[in-house]
Amino acid sequence: MRRCLLALALLTALPATVNAAKPDLSTQAERSGYKQTGRYDEVIALCDAYQKAFPKAVRCFEFGVSPQGRPMKALAVSTTGALSAEEAQAKGIPVVLAQGGIHAGEIDGKDAGFGLVRDLLQGKSGKGVLDKQVLLFVPVFNVDGHENFKAWNRPNQRGPEEMGFRVTAQRYNLNRDYVKADAPEMQAMLALVNQWDPVVTLDLHVTDGAKFRHDISITGDPVNVGDAELRTAGQALKTGILDKLTAQGSLPVGFYPSFNEYDNPASGFTETAYPPRFSSGYFPLRNRLVMLIETHSWRTYPERVRSTYNAVLDVLELVAEHGPQWRSAEFAADARAAQLGGQPVALDYTTTEEKRIIPFQGYAYTRTPSTVSGGTMTVYDERTPQLWMLPLRDTIVPALTVTAPQGGYLVPSEYAAWVGSKLREHGIQFQTLAQPLAQATVESFNAETVKFASAPTEGHQRTTLTGAWKTNTATLGAGALFVPIAQAKARLVMAILEPQAPDSLAAWGEFNNSFERKEYMEGYVAEEQARLMLAKDPALKAEFEKKLKDDPAFAKNPMARLNFFERRHPAWDTRYNRYPVLRTDRIPQ
């Protein structure tokens, strides 16, 4: 007993540096030779361990809580002394957001990021880059999906042995949620972005698709979309990453390598400008740079982690060199966006049929009839490299252009609460009208055609509208919202509130009530009223008879004929098919 007490006394008398064990900064991936990836409790432990090991260069913090109650963790990493958003902004230090695990089975970014952060802090890689920026590292965005953990969650991917699942516990695909922001995780991410305002955001993924030799693809914007002058910076970032990866031994491509025809390599590729439900389409609307980094799923896990590690390091090196210049370009784009009132603004894009032939590093393959599917199957021979000469369509042009209102948008008070909540999530400026707005000259949008999707997408019934804005008058009650176009996020405002924009609130079905009939005239009443209207209005009678003569389909359709009169009757619901958000050329006083 005396020996035990003496030993204990000696241990407690030792200096604290001897007693304190060094935090273990290795990952399960490293310890297993990249056969495995760790569970989410490893993320929590490593976040704390990095802060403990490097208290002056790492701050571990929680920026949200998942629906299943897990903390959403981020690491702010820098040797500038700026470990908060406020400090970074006060010192003018660029921030790079590296976001891993938005699809939690595609988890390369988590393991690559932890290894890179350790090497940066220990001086083994990227010497000096953390002196010029803050790396804001989110190891796993989709934390609940990460813990839906098992083998075969990614059947088109080599390693690790087990991994998380693509969607959240509520089955949201977070990389379809940037604009609509249904998921609590996305709402937390948008708050993080609003707070830190990164100069560059990296979204770290793994591809699906065919077997070929290229190991990584780099896509992002603004290169083909968004502010025209900011595209110079976007292209410089993209080209810089591709060049550095090539020098590091990778075979990168600058487009997402998905065949034009499913499973048919000979069909070639099309470069796409993605709508803002995706990260790569969203950030350009905020006048910020974004790059989608996709390692190739058929490369082994250690190869993919190394490619991701290199790509993130390459971006940090480029930002260390060009960050202040790119930040100035973004602020200049903000100023231009605030002047978009009355100007045409592209809200959607398409790729033309123009094509060019490119060399692509593939494998020998055969296309033969399948006795299983009854279709054609593709079989790749990975022992036989082959150079494919394939068509690439990569000329991207606007598909939808809308002239911005001179003043902004008006949201009636009955919609103000939930629309205002969405606008706040994106950091969009608006004001609540304290007084009613009577007989204001506005523009209103009446849908000429409404097409509801036949199947749900992300829990929504998407809606496609045709129609046009027309001058009108309207009275709005106190509590209505005015959303000015004169703000840095003007493009994002239009993407959310223009009814025909591909990811607007209207396109996601949020206003579908406005496009449903709510009141009807019984057939016998319509028959009676039609006869009275014909007797009283010779011009109406002439119009009806002409339509009967000119439109055989109308003439044979009893409901269409009665509807002709219902639409001209005082009982007709004038708000049917009217989009409730209005546009104005004046700033309400």
**All domains of the chain, ordered by start, with CATH?**
7-338 (3.40.630.10), 356-398 (no CATH), 401-517+576-584 (no CATH), 523-566 (no CATH)
Cis ω on the peptide bond leading into residue 222 (within 30° of 0)? yes
142 pLDDT band, cuts 50/70/90, is: very high
Residue 80 has which token pair? 């500038």
- Closest by CA to 102, choosing from 189, 36, 208, is 189
| Region for residue 220 given its phi and psi (left: phi exceeds 0; alpha: psi -120 to 50; beta: otherwise) | left
Are residues 214 and 360 in contact, defined by beta-carbon separation less than 8 angstroms?
yes
pLDDT digits (tens, 9 = 90+) for 183-239: 999 999 999 999 999 999 999 999 988 999 999 999 999 999 999 999 999 999 999
Sign (positive or negative) of CA dihedral 572, 576, 577, 582:
positive
φ and ψ at 98, to 5 degrees? -110, 115
The rounded distance, in Å, linking the Cα atoms of 487 and 199 is: 18
**132-169: b or e for each residue (b if 16 or more CB lie within 10 Å)?**
bbbbbbbbbbbbbbbbbbeeebbeebebbebbbbbbbb
Structure tokens at 194: 């609003």
How far apart CA 435 and CA 437 sit, in angstroms, is 7
The token duo for 229 is: 């002058």
Residue 180 pLDDT greater than 70, yes or no: yes
In the prediction, which pLDDT does 4 show? 41
The pLDDT value recorded for residue 249 is 97
Distance CA 97, CA 141 (A): 12
For the cut 60, the answer to whether the pLDDT of residue 15 exceeds it is no
Average pLDDT, the chain: 95
DSSP 306: H
Q: How many CB atoms lie within 10 A of CB 80?
A: 16
CA dihedral (462, 467, 473, 478) in degrees, to 10, reads 10
The predicted structure's pLDDT at residue 19: 40
Tokens representing residue 192 in the block: 């993080």
Query: Given a cut of 60, is residue 2 above it in pLDDT?
Result: no
Percentage of residues of the chain with pLDDT beyond 70? 96
Residue 169 backbone phi and psi in degrees, to 5: -60, -30
Say yes or no to pLDDT of 20 above 70.
no
Question: What mean pLDDT comes out for the span 381-388?
Answer: 98
**Sign of the torsion angle spanned by Cα atoms 183, 188, 194, 197:** negative
3-state secondary structure of 177: coil
What percentage of the chain carries pLDDT values higher than 90?
94
- Cβ atoms within 10 Å of 111's Cβ, excluding its own: 27
The residue among 480, 207, 227 whose CA lies nearest residue 338 is 227
Contact 500, 400 (CB under 8 A): yes
Counting Cβ atoms within 10 Å, is residue 9 exposed (0-12), middle (13-18) or buried (19+)?
Answer: exposed
Confidence of residue 445 (pLDDT cuts 50, 70, 90): very high
CB-neighbour burial class of residue 456 (10 A; exposed 0-12, middle 13-18, buried 19+): exposed
Ordered DSSP codes for 82-102: --SHHHHHHHT--EEEEE--S
- CA 460 vs CA 26, 491, 505, 508, 528: distances in Å: 42, 23, 11, 6, 40
The H or E element spanning position 361 is strand 356-369
Tens of pLDDT, residue by residue over 147-178, are: 999 999 999 999 999 999 999 999 999 999 99
The pair phi, psi for residue 12, each rounded to 5°, is -70, -20
pLDDT exceeds 90 at position 22: no
Q: What is the pLDDT of residue 21?
A: 63
- Ranking 104-108, 558-562, 572-576 by mean pLDDT, the lowest is 572-576
Task: Tell me how far apart the alpha carbons of residues 115 and 107 are, in angstroms, rounded to a whole number.
Answer: 13
Residue 23 has pLDDT above 90, yes or no: no
pLDDT reading at 345 higher than 90: yes
Q: What is the DSSP string of 533-549?
A: HHHH-HHHHHHHHHHHH
pLDDT tens, residue by residue, 489-533: 999 999 999 999 999 999 999 999 999 999 989 999 999 999 999
* Cα→Cα distances 173→101, 142, 569, Å: 11, 9, 46
169 secondary structure, DSSP code: T
CA 54 – CA 303 distance, rounded (Å): 28
Say how far apart CA 353 and CA 330 lie, in whole Å.
32
What's the rounded Cα separation, in Å, for the pair 568 and 185?
48
